[in-house]
Structures are given as C-alpha cells and as structure tokens.
C-alpha cells in the first residue's frame, strides 16, 4: 500500500509558499514541453536516437478564488506584464515531503493571462507559468 498526503506537497514560487488549492486532483500540474528525443530511421530499418536538449516545461496551478495565494500570483503576473524589463524570471520548487518527488525549474514567465469566471459555484483561478529549464525526479514513495 502506498501513501500520499496533499498537505505534504510544498510549492514555492520565488520562495513564497503556495498552498490554497482549489478542489480537484490536478491543482498542481507540470509537463515538459518536448519529448526526451526520438528516432530517425534509415531505409535499411536501423535508426539513430536523437536526444532532445529542450528541458522547458509548463506548470499549471489552480487556486481558490479570492485567496491570498491567488492575489500573490496575480501581483507577480502584473509585475511581469507592466515591467518586463525589470521583471525577474520566476523560480519553482515543488517537493512531496512524504514521498520525495521533486521538481525544480528556472527562468519562468506567465504565458497565459488569468481569466475571470463567476457564477453560482466556486471558480478556481488558474495560473500557467512556463519555465526554460526544469528537473523532475519521481521517487518510489512510501
């Protein structure tokens, strides 16, 4: 039997802890932008594997509407939008303290503008940040 506790996942954006997640199983999602590489096959059926140096990736965070974390991320987004020259690229650290999964990333920028949705129920605020370089280590866990 394996164990997981979402309260044991620590997300740091520029050293600031983000933890006021919306409901769902995908409130923290990361994917590399490119595959690790691919084969180029010759006419004789043999091939060569070409490794891809692209280590960029996309992070999607879903935060409760009106939370302090949402306000903090919106502030960071506005800093980027209003002063790109003076904006310091975002750093990311995610660690599952229980299972030792780790993700670090550097040189991040918001690539998708936040949206506003309101209605009869809760609407999560979604923030998408792309990073130039990321390193992911998934452990066996408990």
Quick: pLDDT tens for 40-50.
999 999 999 99
E strands along the chain, which residues? Answer: 9-13, 16-18, 28-32, 37-41, 47-51, 57-63, 90-96, 102-112, 125-137
> Is the pLDDT reported for residue 141 higher than 90?
no
Domain limits at 79? 6-32+56-137
CA-CA-CA-CA torsion for 16, 22, 23, 24, nearest 10 degrees? -70
Quick: pLDDT tens for 89-136.
999 999 999 999 999 999 999 999 999 888 988 889 999 999 999 999
> Is the pLDDT reported for residue 142 higher than 90?
no
Domain count, the chain: 1
Residue 40 in domain: no
Quick: pLDDT tens for 16-35.
999 999 999 999 999 999 99
Residue 49 in domain: no
Residue 100: DSSP 8-state: -
pLDDT at position 121: 85
Residue 15 in domain: yes
Residue 51 in domain: no
Residue 65 in domain: yes
Residue 73 sits in a domain of what CATH number?
2.40.30
Q: Can you give the pTM of this predicted structure?
A: 0.91
Residue of 122 and 80 predicted with greater confidence: 80
In which region does residue 79 sit, left (phi positive, over 0), alpha (psi from -120 to 50) or beta (all else)?
Answer: alpha
pLDDT at position 78: 98
Residue 105 in domain: yes
Other beta carbons within 10 angstroms of residue 38's beta carbon come to 13
Residue 74 in domain: yes
CA–CA distance, 142 with 122 (Å, rounded to integer):
33
Q: Regarding beta strands 9-13 and 16-18, do their DSSP bridges make them parallel or antiparallel, or are they unpaired?
A: antiparallel
């Amino acid at each position: 039997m394996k164990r997981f506790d979402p309260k044991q996942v620590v997300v740091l954006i520029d050293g600031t802890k983000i933890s006021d997640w919306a409901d769902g199983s995908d409130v923290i999602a990361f994917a590399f932008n490119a595959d690790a590489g691919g084969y180029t096959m010759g006419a004789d059926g043999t091939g060569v594997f070409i490794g891809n140096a692209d280590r960029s990736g996309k992070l999607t965070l879903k935060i409760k509407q009106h939370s302090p974390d949402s306000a903090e991320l919106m502030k960071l987004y506005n800093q980027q939008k209003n002063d790109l020259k003076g904006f310091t690229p975002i750093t990311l650290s995610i660690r599952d303290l229980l299972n030792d999964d780790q993700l670090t990333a550097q040189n991040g920028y918001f690539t998708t503008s936040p949206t506003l949705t309101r209605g009869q129920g809760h609407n999560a605020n979604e923030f998408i940040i792309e990073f130039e370089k990321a390193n992911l280590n998934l452990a066996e866990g408990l």
